[in-house]
Amino acid sequence: MIAYVDSPFQLLQSYELSKLGHNFSKIYVRLNGKESNDNQLINLINLLDIQNTKLITIVNLYQKLYYYGLFIIVSLFKGTTVVGDANSVLFKILKRIFSRKKFILLDDGVATINNTFINKCFKRFTIFPEYVKNKICNDFKNTRLLVSEEKVLSKKHVIVGAKFVDEGICDRETYITALSAIIKYIDADEYVYIPHRGESKIEIEAIKNTLPISVLKLNLPIELISLEAKIYPLSISHTLSTAVFSMNKIYDAPIYTYRIPDSKLIQRKASIENLYNIIDSKRISQFIK
């Protein structure tokens, strides 16, 4: 079995899959040249002692052609191929060459939920089993064991960041207002804000300078906050993050969602509203009024 992953969340899933008895002869871990992403991937390999990994860097066309070709050739001689991103160019090539039975797909955030055709045709290791026909359920059992065994130094209310302003989904005033509403609702003495990997320094500074909140940038996926920062969440709040689906399986903490009004969204309104509705339907979170 071989795997191709390009995000810390995908690599964490590969770790979980290996603990279920799926042995990897090689896990190709793609680095994309973005410091925060690449550091998390490397740190995760070292922390969890993930075996048989090969780091590959793909930032230009030549590297893409070389490593895609290499992966296709290696796949010819291996049994199961695990792919992290079902929307990637690599998988679009692979699925034209090999039988559907050859693949196990991993979750890739909200893309998993929206990929109806893929979910009908391919096996997937997933935290969203209700959307997948041929599924292997991921309950993050082994990650949960890791964080429960680690001695934490403190318990804090955690706010999961989103790159809404940087992506042009809403303006800064709307996002700050949303975070303020979360803080007011929880009404605690201390909060820690975990920025999204894609949040810019300018937006993070705006949050620090406006709100009574501590900002903590992680070098590991947020799912492992208790391992890295020795913080166990008292609560987990967000404006919108698919990380709450996995964190809900790992931590015994209430989850709160602030739903940014549709009128305040500049773009991606339909997909964002759909995700809010999914969170509501799964009953994993309490919405802040």
Pairing, β 255-258 against β 286-288: parallel
Mean pLDDT over 237-255 rounds to 94
Query: How high is the pLDDT of residue 143?
Result: 93
Cβ contacts of residue 272 below 8 Å, gap of 6+?
A: 169, 240, 260, 265
Distance between CA atoms of 262 and 17, rounded to whole angstroms? 38
Query: How high is the pLDDT of residue 149?
Result: 66
pLDDT in tens, 252-272: 999 999 999 999 999 888 889
pTM over 0.85: yes
Query: How high is the pLDDT of residue 82?
Result: 95
Q: What are phi and psi of 54, to 5 degrees?
A: -130, 115
Report percent pLDDT > 70 for the chain.
99
Distance between CA atoms of 10 and 85, rounded to whole angstroms? 8
- The model's confidence at residue 174, banded by pLDDT at 50, 70 and 90, is very high
Mean pLDDT over 223-242 rounds to 94
pLDDT in tens, 107-151: 987 778 888 889 999 999 999 998 999 999 999 999 999 887 677
Q: What is the overall mean pLDDT for the chain?
A: 91
pLDDT at 165 over 90: yes
Cβ contacts of residue 134 below 8 Å, gap of 6+?
A: 122, 123, 124
Under a CB-based contact definition with an 8 Å cutoff, are residues 81 and 2 in contact? Answer: yes
Tell me the H-state helices in the chain.
8-19, 35-48, 61-76, 89-97, 110-114, 116-121, 141-149, 172-186, 201-210, 225-228, 243-250, 269-282
Domains of the chain: 2-138 (3.40.50), 144-288 (3.40.50)
DSSP 78: S
Q: What is the side-by-side strand order in the sheet with 191-194?
A: 214-215, 191-194, 154-160, 231-238, 255-258, 286-288
Query: How high is the pLDDT of residue 10?
Result: 95
Query: How high is the pLDDT of residue 177?
Result: 96
Torsion of CA 236, 198, 200, 188, to 10 degrees: 0
Query: How high is the pLDDT of residue 35?
Result: 86
